[in-house]
Amino acid sequence: MERETLAIIPANRGGSVEHFYHFLFGYLLPFIELCHPLRGHRRFLLRDCGPMNRLLRDLDGFEIGQLPAWMVFGSLVGTNPSLGAIPKVIAPGFDAPDTYDAARFRRLRALVADLFAARLAEAAARHPRAQADRLVLVIDRAQPDAFYATPRAEQRGAGAALRSIPNIAEVHAAIAARHDAMLVRLEALPFFDQVHLFSRAWRVVGQHGAGLAHMIWARQDAALVEAIPSPDGVPPDKVDYAVFFRGICHALGMRWQGILQDDNHAPLPPDRVLRGLDALG
């Protein structure tokens, strides 16, 4: 028997759900939270999320179809009568620091671990090095998908085109001389591999960027060293946007250490990163 269809309307707080931070906190996790009891009973229609669509294919048990964004929103205001009769659920996002809630974060961590245990076990088998007790996960940023340079993108630019650490290999080598360290590009990994690696990390080192939203999965004793580009020399903890990932850490009782990067694409002195790690103990 064909499953009844339910359209999931995003209510992200800002940005675009074609970009990872707003996709994860503004659409994907609210969708899972609201709709997981209906797995196996409903077919879900989600809006097209550009390059984020590939991550939806990892959601075992959810039958998902996709529609162009204009069609989803047109169904709300009555300009698309063909979808008007389909039941709809608005999924309120929490993609803004003033909406972070520690209890909700913890519930989501437990829910994802339960729903996707098999996927996470497969990810663990692919990354035996992540079993190190004091793993330092070093995040490199990939060049953006070509989609973000096209008129189809709701917001142009992404990834290393916006910000980068050009000497990230040197930074990783300096860390690896002292700690068990892994250098990863999240964009190259399946979604649940990303979740697993952050859940195993003792320390995460990365430049300010959407992938650091994965700190939601980190263990209780984890901490983040975040490189904050600040061309004007404003201290990292005083830069407005530092609140995004510092806020996740603080909500979950994890430590955060900001380190200064001279601009969006400046080399990052390895000794500055090591001092940041040392400051965390």
Same domain, 72 and 124: no
User: Does the residue 40 lie in any domain?
Assistant: yes
The first and second tokens of residue 19, run together, are 């970009």
Q: Print pLDDT tens along the chain (281 aa).
A: 578 899 999 999 999 999 999 999 999 999 999 999 999 899 999 999 999 999 998 999 999 999 898 877 777 666 566 666 788 889 999 999 999 999 999 999 999 999 999 999 999 999 999 999 999 999 999 999 999 999 999 999 999 999 999 999 999 999 999 999 999 999 999 999 999 999 999 999 999 999 999 999 999 999 999 999 999 999 999 999 999 999 999 999 999 999 999 999 999 999 999 999 999 98
Question: Does residue 254 contact residue 220 with C-beta atoms inside 8 Å?
Answer: yes
Same domain, 268 and 158: yes
Backbone angles phi, psi at 177, to 5 degrees: -70, -20
Same domain, 256 and 149: yes
Domain finish residue from 99, 133, 150? 99
The first and second tokens of residue 255, run together, are 């430590």
Same domain, 261 and 215: yes
Domain finish residue from 99, 132, 150? 99
Same domain, 169 and 215: yes
Amino acid found at 261: Q
User: Does the residue 42 lie in any domain?
Assistant: yes
Specify the CATH number for the domain of residue 128.
Answer: 3.40.50
User: Does the residue 106 lie in any domain?
Assistant: no
pLDDT confidence of residue 70: 81
Residues near 69 by beta carbon (within 8 Å), at least 6 away in sequence:
47, 48, 154
Q: What is the pTM of this model?
A: 0.95
Domain finish residue from 99, 127, 161? 99
pLDDT confidence of residue 84: 66
User: Does the residue 238 lie in any domain?
Assistant: yes
Helix/strand/coil for 182: strand
Same domain, 148 and 261: yes
pLDDT confidence of residue 72: 76
User: Does the residue 151 lie in any domain?
Assistant: yes
Total number of domains in the chain? 2
User: Edge-to-edge strand order for the sheet containing 42-47?
Assistant: 63-67, 42-47, 4-11, 88-92
Q: Number of helices and strands (H, E) in the chain?
A: 11, 9
Q: Using CB atoms within 10 A of its CB, is residue 242 exposed (0-12), middle (13-18) or buried (19+)? A: buried
Question: Does residue 31 contact residue 44 with C-beta atoms inside 8 Å?
Answer: yes
Question: Does residue 138 contact residue 206 with C-beta atoms inside 8 Å?
Answer: yes
User: Does the residue 105 lie in any domain?
Assistant: no
pLDDT confidence of residue 1: 54
pLDDT confidence of residue 263: 96
pLDDT confidence of residue 268: 98
Same domain, 86 and 157: no
The first and second tokens of residue 3, run together, are 């499953």
pLDDT confidence of residue 71: 79
Helix/strand/coil for 31: helix
Same domain, 199 and 261: yes
Give the domain extent around 224. Answer: 117-279
